[in-house]
Amino acid sequence: MENFNFYSPTFFAFGKERENECGELVTRFGGRKVLIHYGGGSVIRTGLLDRVRASLEKASIPYIELGGVKPNPRSGLVYEGIELCKKEAVDFILAVGGGSVIDSAKAIAAGTLYDGDFWDFYEGKAAITKALPVGTVLTISAAGSEGSPDSVITKEEGMLKRGAGSDFLRPKFSVLNPALTQTLPAYQTACGITDIIAHLYERYLTNTKDVEVTDRMIEALILAMITEGPKVVSNPDDYEARANIMWAGMMAHNNSCGVGRSQDWTSHGIEHELSALYDCAHGAGLAVTMPAVFTYNMKHDVMRFAQIAVRVWGCQMDFANPCNTAKAGIEALRSFLISIGMPKNFKELGADEADIERLAHTCCYGDGSGSGTIGGFTPLSQSDVEAIYRLML
């Protein structure tokens, strides 16, 4: 195991009706003037926004609002939010929604206390050294942003989707009420489950030896997704299954399963180009990307793929030819994702073969700031990435 730092200070308020405690939680973490940030309207339709407002009012906390965050959140609204927070002297941001809303809130939080262009953080030109405190009320189990130090934003100019990370972006508190996810369409639920599984695979694919504890934690969480996932896709009101998935989504990405080991993140790098260009759901993009990446990278460490195939997917170990076991594990993952309603190829995702060269180039070089290779498991060049996109056809 490698040396590591792990700082995860988020307070989690988990369970039914906990959103009614927002006012107390904001007070507890020092907020005196709040920006409520939300998405395209689900929180209005479900009545959640009204409950959050009422809770702040009960605690006598003044607030302003900025809605309209789109899935794959854009830089334009972040600039608007930064201006608003400065003008209105906001000192706490409350994100009510999914990963997109939370990521947008984190970008505004860092940008408000920065003199330059907030995009500097996403291009790697500047490090985040301070941010306004952020709280969250999560409405979809997926991105893990409710416990993570990360934020992913798409810059409209060039549709460049990039991430920034800092412990300053970890939420001060997150309200996790599984019942809030019961209004999700089955497709979005399945996209979330896929993203959770992807966060676990990105950490499982490591070059660090002897990381049995985190290996076993990852395996346990994927196994739970395999049993709980189909329950909520077929029965949206299954509170207990939703509760398990919600906590797994947080555990999968606050990095408790990723400490002390190298990580991969190839599938995310390749997928982010797809959701930037085609505006598909991140989880749907990952469902198509992961099997292709794993097939391409399998030879780098066949035994790692064979291990997860046996321990998680219940495949028989073929000692004479472990490649067969590794492949069977990847096929089992693919079949599972299709069974919960995820797309299986480029076409179903709405992607176009003619864009492959451009996608691979942006993936490796960005707008000039990229290094030319991606991936922590095995470095991949533009031609490797092109080959992976072709496997998705």
Nearer to ligand NZQ, 136 or 325 (CB): 136
CA 351 to the chain's CA centroid: 21
- CA 193, CA 222: separation in Å to the nearest integer? 10
140 in contact with ligand NZQ (CB under 6 A): yes
Binders of ligand NZQ in range 43-72 (CB under 6 A) = 43, 71-72
Site for ligand NZQ (CB under 6 A): which residue of 13, 22, 152, 309?
152
- Report the partner that residue 72 touches, choosing among ligand NZQ, Zn ion, none (CB closer than 5 to 8 A by kind): ligand NZQ
At residue 62, the 3 state secondary structure works out as: coil
39 in contact with ligand NZQ (CB under 6 A): yes
Nearer to ligand NZQ, 326 or 342 (CB): 342
Nearer to ligand NZQ, 181 or 307 (CB): 181
37 in contact with ligand NZQ (CB under 6 A): no
Least separation, in Å, of the C-beta of 4 and ligand NZQ? 18
Site for ligand NZQ (CB under 6 A): which residue of 15, 30, 41, 379?
41
Least separation, in Å, of the C-beta of 322 and Zn ion? 28
| Number of other CB atoms surrounding residue 317 within 10 Å | 13
DSSP 339-356: HTT---SHHHHT--GGGH
350 in contact with ligand NZQ (CB under 6 A): no
Least separation, in Å, of the C-beta of 46 and ligand NZQ? 6
- CA 79, CA 117: separation in Å to the nearest integer? 9
Span of 109-117, 175-183, 211-219, 333-341 interacting with ligand NZQ by CB under 6 A? 175-183
Binders of ligand NZQ in range 75-134 (CB under 6 A) = 97-101, 103
Binders of Zn ion in range 173-202 (CB under 5 A) = 195
List the structure tokens of 91: 């000192």
In this structure, the chain runs to a length of 393
CA dihedral sign of residues 118, 119, 125, 127: positive
370 in contact with ligand NZQ (CB under 6 A): no
289-294: which pairs have CB atoms within 8 A and are 24 or more residues apart? 289/388, 289/392, 290/197, 290/198, 290/201, 290/333, 290/337, 291/330, 291/331, 291/333, 291/334, 291/337, 292/388, 292/389, 292/391, 292/392, 293/266, 293/267, 293/388, 294/201, 294/330, 294/333
Helix (H), strand (E), coil (C) string for 72-107: CCEHHHHHHHHHHHHHCCCCEEEEEECHHHHHHHHH
Phi, psi of 55 (to 5 degrees): -65, -40
Residue nearest to Zn ion (CB): 195
- Report the partner that residue 211 touches, choosing among ligand NZQ, Zn ion, none (CB closer than 5 to 8 A by kind): none
* Residues contacting residue 379 through CB under 8 Å, at least 6 positions apart: 373
Contacts to Zn ion by CB under 5 A: 195
Contacts to ligand NZQ by CB under 6 A: 39-43, 71-72, 97-101, 103, 139-140, 142-145, 148, 150-152, 180-181, 183-184, 188, 192, 195, 253, 268, 282-283
